[in-house]
Chain A
Amino acid sequence: MIDRISRRELLSAGAALSAAALLPTSASAQGKQLVAATFPGTWNEAHRQYLAPAFTKRTGASVTQSILLGNDQLSRLTAAKGGKPPFDVALFDRPQVLDAAKQGLIVEYPAAKSANYKDVLPEFQDKWGPCISMQIIGIGYNPKKIKTPPTSWDALWDPQFKGRIGLTALNSQLGIAFLAEINRLRGGNEENFEPAFKALKELLPNVGAIGANLGAYATLWQQEQVDIAPYNFNFVQTLKGKDVPVELSIPSTGPVGWTTSMHLVANAAEPDLAVQYIDTHLDQAVQSAMLKPPYDVIPTNSKVQLEGAITTSIATSHADLAKVRSFDWEKLNPQRGALIERFNRDIKM
C-alpha cells in the first residue's frame, strides 16, 4: 500500500498536517478551561467519570485534572505564591486546610454563589470550603490468602504474616493516619510519637514492601505482593472494581478518618468556574452517582442516603459519620516534615 501512495502525496499530506498544527490556537477557539487538582486513585477516576461531565454540561467549560497528593498541592501553591497558581481548585484533607488557610493560599468560600451549599450536612460545612466526603482507613487484606477478616491492627504484627505486610510512605494521608492511630493505641499522643516508631520498628520483619506512592501501592496489591496492609476504604472499593483481590476490614477499635474538602485557590485564573466546579461536587445527583461502586464516595449532601458498602462497614446513618474518630491536626501538622524524614531514615527494608 505504501508503494501506491506516491512520495509526493505523502509529503503534501504531511505538510498540510504541519500547517494545521502551526496555526495558533487561541483559548477562545477551544472554550474555557479550568484546572482543578485531585487525588490519585479513586478520586481522579470518580472526578473524571462523574464530576467533569456534570460540570461541562453546566458551564460549557472543560476541566484539566492535575493529579497530586494534598501535600504536593500545598508545595506547588506555596511555590507559586504571589503569581498565577498552577490550579484553581484544591482538594485537601483536613490537615492541609489548616496550613493552606494560614498561609493565605486559599480564600474563603463564597457560599452565596454556591446553590448546593445549604444542602451540605452542618458538620461538613466550613468557611474555607465545604467537605465533599470523608475518608476512612482500615485493614486491607487479600481474601484469597486470608480467610477470616482481621479485627485488630495488632494482626499486622502477627508473625504468620512475615514478609507479607505492606506500608505506604508518609507523604500520603493514609500513612500519617495509620502512624497516628498506632501511636494512639500504643499510648502516645499528637506530641509524642515514640510509641508509634517503636511499634513500626517491631513491624519491620513483617514488611514485604513499602509503596512510595499510592500508585505503587496499588500495583503491589494488584501483583499480590502484599496480603495485608493499612488502606483507604475508597481505594479498596475501586481496586475491587478492577478485579484486584482486596477487602477492607474496620478493626474493632473503630473507624478512623478525616474529612476531605474542596477550596478556591487564591488568585485563581477562573474563580467563578472554580466555585461552579465545587458546587457541582455538592450536587445531589453527582454525589449519588459517586456513592455507587466502585467508588463508594461517602456523601456529604443531606439529601443523599447512605447505601452499599458504606452501610455494611462504616456507618448506617449520617449521625454515625459524625462520630468517626479523627486526630488533632493542629498539633500534628508542624511535625509532619520531621515525621517524614524519620520514617524515611528508620523504616527501611
Chain B
Amino acid sequence: MPAPRHAIDWEAASLRIVFVTMTVFAMVFLIAPTVIVLITSLTASESLKFPPPGLSLRWYYALLDADQMQRAAWNSLVIAVWTTVISVVLGTAASIAIARGRSKWIKACDLLFMSPLLLPALAFGFAALVYINKLGLSPSVPLLVLGHVIVCVPFILRTTVAALSQLDSALLDASHSLGGSQWMTFRRITLPLIAPGLGSGAFLAFMASFDNVPVSLFLADERNEVLPIHLWQQIDTNLDVRTAAASGLIVIFTLALMLIAERLAGFTRQMR
C-alpha cells in the first residue's frame, strides 16, 4: 500500500514541521532578550543602543564604584538566605504532614499555604504594610523576611511534597520496625531521599526572594534597599548603562546557580 503510506508520511511531517518551527521561534523569543542585554552591557559607548558600537568591560568596572547598588545586592542576598532557611525548616515539616495526611484539615492547610502563589502578591504586600502600621511597627528587615517567606514557601512545599509522595513507605516502616526514632528515620532515610526535591524547591525559593518586587515594594524602606527595586528605580529614572551591566551580572549569577542546581539535584528532572 505505497500510496496511503506516502500520504500519512507527508501529513506526519507537516505537524512536526509546524511544531518544530513554532518551538524554535518560541525558544529564540525566550532566550534572545537575555542574550541581547548581555551584549548591550558590553558596549563601549554611553548609550543603550543595540548593536553596540564597540565592546568593552568598562561598565562592569563601573559597578565597582556603585556603592548603593552593591549595598542593595548584599541586602537582597542576606534576605534571600534568611528566607530560604526559614522556609526550608517550616516548609519541610509541613510537607511531611501534607504528604502523609488524608484529613480535610491537612488539605485545607495545603490550600492555604499555596494560596500566595495565586493571589496578587502586590495586594498581599500592601496588606502586610497596613498590618504592620496598625501594630505600631515600621518596615524592617525581619518583617521583610517574613513577608518573603509567605510568598516563597509554596515553592518548597510543591517540590518537597512531590518528592515525599514518591517515597516508598516500606522503607520508613522498615526503619521504624528496626527501632529507629522518628527523627532518626527522617535524618537518615527520608532526608537523603528527598534532598534533590527539597534542594530544587530551596533554589526556587531563594531566587523568588532575591528577585521579589511586589512584597519588597511595600516592606523594604530606603534604609534597607533591595536590588530589584534599586535596578527598577535606575531604569525608571535614567538610561544608565550600568543597569545593563548589573543585569548581565544577575544573568550570569542565575545561570551559574542553575548549573549547580542541575548538577547537584538534577533540577530539570524535578520540574517535570
Contact = CB atoms under 8 A, between A and B. Distances in A.
Contact of B46 (A33, A65, A241): A241
A288 interface: no
Nearest to A3: B263
A157 to B, nearest CB: 29
B78 interface: yes
Interface string A188-219: 00000000000000000000000001111011
18 contacts: A7-B263, A21-B82, A25-B78, A40-B236, A40-B238, A41-B237, A44-B237, A48-B68, A62-B67, A63-B68, A65-B68, A86-B221, A87-B222, A213-B236, A218-B239, A222-B48, A241-B46, A243-B45
Given A48-B68, A218-B238, A242-B47, 9 more contacts: A2-B263, A10-B264, A35-B222, A35-B223, A44-B238, A64-B223, A86-B221, A219-B239, A244-B239
A111 to B, nearest CB: 27
Nearest to A66: B222
A76 B43 CA distance: 37
Interface in A37-53: 40-41, 44-45, 48, 52
B263 to A, nearest CB: 5
A310 interface: no
Interface of B: 45-49, 67-68, 71, 77-78, 81-82, 85, 138, 221-223, 225, 233-240, 259-260, 263-264
A54 interface: no
Contacts of B238: 40-41, 44-45, 215, 218
Contacts of B263: 2, 7, 10
Contacts of B234: 67
Interface of A is mostly: mixed
Contacts of B45: 243
A222 to B, nearest CB: 6
Residue of B48, B49, B239 most packed against chain A (CB within 10 A)? B239
Nearest to A34: B223
Contacts of B235: 215
A334 interface: no
Given A21-B78, A243-B45, A40 B222 contact: no
B68 to A, nearest CB: 6
Nearest to A40: B237
B225 A64 contact: yes
Given A10-B260, A33-B223, A83 B237 contact: no
Contacts, number: 78
A18 interface: yes
Residue of B45, B138, B222, B240 most packed against chain A (CB within 10 A)? B222
Interface of B is mostly: helix
A70 to B, nearest CB: 14
Interface in A276-322: none
A66 B77 CA distance: 20
Contacts of A18: 81, 85
A1 to B, nearest CB: 10
A22 interface: yes
A28 to B, nearest CB: 15
Contacts of B46: 241-243
A81 to B, nearest CB: 13
Contacts of A44: 237-238
The 10 closest A-B pairs by CB, nearest first: A40-B237, A21-B81, A215-B236, A66-B222, A242-B46, A215-B237, A21-B78, A243-B47, A35-B222, A242-B47
A78 B30 CA distance: 43
Contacts of A215: 235-239
A11 B203 CA distance: 13
B47 A244 contact: yes
Contacts of A2: 259-260, 263
Nearest to B71: A64
Contacts of A218: 238-239
Contacts of B240: 45
Nearest to B223: A35
A84 interface: yes
Contact of B222 (A11, A86, A219): A86
B76 to A, nearest CB: 10
A252 to B, nearest CB: 31
Residue of B45, B221, B223 most packed against chain A (CB within 10 A)? B223
Contacts of B68: 48, 63-65
Contacts of B78: 21-22, 25
